[in-house]
Amino acid sequence: MVQAFREIYWNINPAVGPVFLYSLVLLTTIVTTWGLLRDIARWRKGRPEARINQIPARAVEFLVQLFGQKKVLRDRRPGSMHALIFFGFLALFIGTDVIAVEEDFTVPLMGEHVGKILVGGFYQSFELILDTLGLVFVVGLIWATWRRYRTRPDRLDNRGTDGWVLGVLLFLGVGGFLIEGLRLANQEIGGVAVYGQGWARLAFVGYALATLFRAIGLGDGSSAALIIHPILWFTHATATFAFIGTLPFSKFRHIFYTPLNILFRDMTPMGALDAIPDMEAEIEKDEPRLGVATLGDLTWKRRMDLDACMRCGRCQSVCPAHASGAPLSPKYIITKLADLQRSAPIRFKDGSVKQLAELESAEGAARDIETLPLYGNLFSEHELWACTTCNACVHECPAMIEHVDDIVDMRRNLAMIASEVPQGVKRVLEGIERQGNPWRLPVRERSAWADGLEVPTMAEKEHVDVLYWVGCAPSYDERSKKVARAMVQIFRAAGVDFAILGEEETCTGDAARRMGEEMLFQAQAQQNIETMKQYTFKQIVTTCPHCFNTIKNEYPQLGGGAGVDFEMVHHTDFIAGLIGAGTITPVRPLNETVVYHDPCYIGRYNDIYETPRTALEAIPGLTLVEAPERNRERAMCCGGGGGNAWLEGEGERDINAIRLEQLTKGEPTTLALACPFCMVMFDDAAKNSGRDETLKRRDIAEIVLESLAPAKS
């Protein structure tokens, strides 16, 4: 039995093989480097943005996402497919590097294999691992090809480079096994056939092929085999480096850019939109740049996003606007910008393609991709205003692309510079600016919901434990007023020292910011911050996830908000805390089957999932069920976010109706809610679908309060 070892250039002319191989290495390095530098030069045209901070945290998450495939595996089936390809490719890449080290950095002594790597037990393990993961790689590629071209989910679109990449990778995977099989079927060491050695069987895929080749006469030094082998070897090497060289020019550029994009991901709270830097200075300019009107207005990081996108369509598959039939697809928001950045034909959601020459340049200006107006060319009004800012797209994206920020930035330009917003948006913004609420109702009516409850105000008490931030909806919407009254009764049952701001409270500006009116948002925020600074309190409790998110995550951008002076608490957290501490105890049995809808702004934005369920599960007799598939972090939006509660839907179906169908599949008797906007949206959906009488819609505060009351005799 001969010692196991790897002969690198078996059956390859030693005067030709290495020269050919390293010529390819040199050529590929030049082409790939040029492509990468070209892309980086495009990013550098973007506006500055600070993303080089918190390096240890960035590095840890980078490693978890890259090697743990954390977000990729969130979508189980395609995630598993990608993991097979990724880990198979990674193993083959490392194996190739080991072979290169073996060839170029070790020296055989006196004809023996002393000093070599690929000998003995290590080589046997090496062959077993590479054959196993090489097979995994091929299986993943076959799965991907079948999925893309046979089953083809709606979220996928095919381009020519997709077929090239999958085809060449399949050729590399299968071709590598064929080359190995021909080598094992014909190689001899010291006159002894490798095929007969026990260790050769560890390369089990190659060995199986070697068995087949010997059966058809391509073994034992067959002349045909010795001709086919080098042809395959040279073709395989050429295809390998052709694949690498074309990476910057195909969607597989994400191999480079997605890890980089993850490293430079947004480290601010998920619920905080990016602020406009130096906004006041920008306003003073003759031609202020507020928001995004052209490709040139994007930051360098947002431009990197475009090249990191792999067009997997996960963002589209979870988008409520897309599900409703609206023109919006977060995938195409990114891919259209990416096409423009690369001066490629622009591909639209409906399958149409526009050449750059067909797009309209700014009046009197040359057609330049950096200054080409995006609105009207790439994006329509119906597309940009259909977004509910639910953040499902960002949450799902394996490349951590920031779709919502791009959409809001384009809205900012339309709202503050172009003054091109839908009439419904205009009415909401006017209401916030003039009356301090989107309902356009008088300030003097803000506390009318509390009539008869004798609710104290901060002006009266000045110092309290809890400031109850009521919000616009519970102040003005008739249905939501009942939730505010329920909270007051819970505060009193628990003996909480609380007060409200009353007429001093005004809209937090959440809707204004997400509709693009950043100046109005900042004016509202500064007014609220100054008001809060007059008083002392330990916590702010609110029933509105939008108010909660804005004060907690966005007011600190303006020098105020939660953190140092007070804690921001959503009422579901607060109620669950009271129950957990024994301060209040639900005692009255409620024999109801309840399904809970996770609001986007406390769920995906702030990771509040357990406490609402904890509060409900503490109620005797109540049976809590989950919405199938779409719950917790994957819950679908009610359709009311991003200002859409006041707008007409852009789709063929209403988002709230679609979501209500998902929630009622288990035939619950009650829909538990934790957001006033969700209450408005689901009340409308229930009435329009004939479920008004059969399905109760109740806030968690109302449900808990009923259980606190003594049972009727």
The angle at the Cα of 621, spanning 619 to 625, to the nearest 5 degrees, equals: 80
pLDDT tens by residue, 578-624: 999 999 999 999 999 999 999 999 999 999 999 999 999 999 999 99
What is the CATH classification number for the domain harbouring 110?
A: 1.20.950
Cβ atoms of residues 407 and 292 within 8 Å: no
In the chain, the number of structural domains is 3
Alpha-carbon distance 446 to 183, whole Å? Answer: 83
Containing structural domain, residue 73:
53-261
> Is residue 466 assigned to a domain?
yes
Same domain, 461 and 610: yes
Domain finish residue from 213, 233, 261: 261
In-domain check, residue 133: yes
634 and 512 co-located in one domain: yes
Average pLDDT over residues 77-102: 89
The burial of 9, by beta-carbon neighbours within 10 Å (0-12 exposed, 13-18 middle, 19 or more buried), is given as: middle
Q: Which of 420, 441, 459 is the last residue of a domain?
A: 420
Residues 634 and 552 in one domain: yes
Query: If pLDDT is split at 50, 70 and 90, which confidence band does 713 have?
Result: very low
Q: Can you give the pLDDT at residue 221?
A: 86
Whether residue 363 is predicted with pLDDT greater than 60 in this model: the reply is: no
Indicate whether 431 pLDDT > 90.
yes
Residue type, 158: N
Of 420, 446, 467, the domain-final residue = 420
Same domain, 498 and 538: yes
Same structural domain, 337 and 234: no
Tokens of 250: 């195909």
C-alpha pair distances (Å), 450 with each of 212, 472, 476, 606: 85, 13, 11, 29
Residue 8 domain flag: no
Q: Is 411 helix (H, G, I), strand (E, B) or coil?
A: helix
Q: Classify residue 536: in a domain, yes or no.
A: yes
Residue 60 inside a domain? The answer is yes
pLDDT at residue 109 greater than cutoff 60 = no
Whether 100 and 190 map to the same domain: the answer is yes
Q: Could you tell me if 404 and 502 lie in one domain? A: no
Residue 244 shares a structural domain with residue 290 = no
Q: Is residue 43 part of a domain?
A: no
In this structure, what are the phi and psi dihedrals at residue 242, rounded to the nearest 5 degrees? Answer: -65, -40
Both 436 and 416 in one domain: the answer is no
Residues 567 and 693 in one domain: yes
The tens digit of pLDDT for each residue in 479-531 reads 999 999 999 999 999 999 999 999 999 999 999 999 999 999 999 999 999 99
Question: Could you give the 3-state DSSP secondary structure of residue 371?
Answer: coil
Percentage of the chain exceeding pLDDT 70:
96
**Mean pLDDT of the residues in the chain:** 91
pTM above 0.75, yes or no: yes
Residue 648: band (very low, low, confident or very high) from pLDDT cuts 50, 70, 90: confident
At residue 342, the 3 state secondary structure works out as coil
Instruction: Identify the CATH number of the domain in which residue 349 sits.
Output: 1.10.1060
Strands 670-673 and 696-699: parallel
- Maximum alpha-carbon separation in the chain: 103
Domain assignment present for residue 168? The answer is yes
Distance CA(64)–CA(60), nearest Å, equals: 6
Residue 68 belongs to a domain: yes
Q: For 203-215, what is each residue's pLDDT tens digit?
A: 999 999 999 999 9
416 and 460 co-located in one domain: no
Do residues 362 and 250 share a domain? Answer: no
